[in-house]
Amino acid sequence: MDLISSFSAYLQGETIFINVVCWGILAIGLIQNFTYAIQLPAAALELREHSQAEDTESAFQLLISDVVMPISMIVPAYNEESSIVANVRSLLSLHYSEIEIIIVNDGSKDNTLKVLIDTFQMLPVIRAYEPAVKHAKIRGLYSSPNYPRLLVVDKENVGSKADASNAGINLSRNPLFCVVDADSMLEEKALLSAVRPFMEDPQNMIAVGGTVRVLNGCKVKNGKIVEMKLPRNILALAQYLEYIRAFLVARLAWSRWGMLSIISGAFGIFRRDIALEVGGFSHNTVGEDYDLITKMHRHMLDNKRPYSMRYVPEPVCWTEVPESLEILGRQRKRWQRGAIEVFFKNIGMLLNPKYGKIGLVGATNNLIVDVIDPFLEVFGYVILPLAWMLGILNTEFAMAYILLFFMFGVFISVSSLILEEMELHRVPRGRDLALLTLVAVIENFGYRQLNNVWRAMGFWDFLRGKKHWGVMKRKGL
């Protein structure tokens, strides 16, 4: 009798536990869906009010203006011989009057430095600079009389993109700097759009982010995109849609609410003086772009200084994305690890009234999305079917919830496509829109679940103390 009672009590305890987990999964899902639901109209309003898509006359006036703010383009490059020339040619062709381009060869083991020297006729030079932020030893500097705006920095590698970016910041001479990945390309007028918020609010604007789009499938010649096409690879197609959703909806909405928490490391512009005040990019995280923005928020709020950050959708940076599960998995695990590192480094901001809406709302959202959600969703893949088999979960309720979850995911993706096409007209052909709409449905059945598994693995990597980036192979521009 005691054995039966004990077994019954055990089953009752297990049932209570499974019920709690199921309701927790439901609650997190509802919170996230509610967030997406309010982000969409906020993004639409922000895009409608601040769109520069048709403002060509204003862009031309900026181009010829004497007061355009000088900017330094910083490109960390490690083993980028297949992409670096196209990247530099792209930067040299930018429509911007006051610009310097700093390529930081971060101890590449391939021919990145040699390709740069040979292609652009670079010669060794001496240039004085103040070591305001820490980085590894610089082995040499190179410039060319044929390309006076171009500087190549050769430095020792310590396994950190942040270290290479800091070297570029120290050597830069302009009040603004922009960090661009070496496997990326900026559109010709991208800087004109991205710098406008600084010119409109020079006292308070400290950081501006632009859009990152998928380059795979596009035709590139002499550092320029001559024909925009969708990727042929299904993984790249899913990422194409994912980038639209992440940038055009999420970041536009957070920007409108004054809680922009991340500016992509592939394309972001920053006030150099503020970046130096917070110590530049941190070495102890792989999420150095996320970390810099968080440090800027914290620094300005700690010192009670007014400031602004903006996301501007028109300036576009095109980047190559992974086309294999292995490389994509490494990337997503690293992104998740970086997000967790930054969250716990700044956990003192969570629900702290001192940091206003950044601490009360922004940090709480990061807690839900980056810390709780990955493990809970993956756990849900196991526990929900188990709860259904044990009769704990009502079949009709389970089916209705799953159907609603998938339908809402499709709705958000398709709405992002519609919003982009209405305002920015970035998809060139009708059949491409039809294909992306199909991908918006398909990605909910496998791709998103796989992403959550990778995110959970990234969290596990964080708990294990993993630090290195991992190899990221590319085809080249």
Give the model confidence (pLDDT) of 335-387 as tens digits: 999 999 999 999 999 999 999 999 999 999 999 988 888 888 888 788 777 77
Q: Is residue 171 part of a domain?
A: no
Q: Residue 98 falls within a domain, yes or no?
A: no
pLDDT of residue 394: 74
Burial of 219 (0-12, 13-18, 19+ CB in 10 A): exposed
Residue 100 domain flag: no
| Percent of the chain surpassing pLDDT 90 | 52
* DSSP assignment string, 14-36: HHHHHHHHHHHHHHHHHHHHHHH
**114 assigned to some structural domain:** no
**Taking all residues of the chain, what is their mean pLDDT, rounded to a whole number?**
87
Q: Is 82:475 a contact under the CB 8 Å cutoff?
A: yes
Q: Given pLDDT bands bounded at 50, 70 and 90, which one contains residue 10?
A: very low
Q: Which of 77-91, 162-176, 389-403 has the highest mean pLDDT?
A: 162-176
Structural domain containing residue 242 = 29-67+183-477
Q: How many domains does the chain have?
A: 1
Tokens (6 digits) for 448: 């998103």
Q: In what order do the strands lie in the sheet with 205-214?
A: 123-125, 138-144, 147-155, 99-106, 71-77, 176-180, 267-271, 205-214, 308-319, 184-186
Inside any domain, residue 323: yes
Residue 175 lies in a domain: no
Q: For residue range 298-316, what is the model confidence (pLDDT) as tens digits?
A: 999 999 999 999 999 887 8
**pLDDT, position 392:** 74
Query: Which pLDDT band, with edges at 50, 70 and 90, does 105 fall under?
Result: very high
The SS3 call for residue 213 is strand
Query: Distance between CA atoms of 87 and 394, rounded to whole angstroms?
Result: 55
Is position 357 within any domain?
Answer: yes
Q: Which residues pair with 284 in a beta bridge?
A: none
Q: Does residue 104 contact residue 74 with C-beta atoms inside 8 Å? A: yes
In terms of phi and psi (left: phi > 0; alpha: psi -120 to 50; beta: otherwise), the region of 216 is: beta
Q: Are the CB atoms for 312 and 263 separated by under 8 Å?
A: no
In a domain, 112, yes or no: no
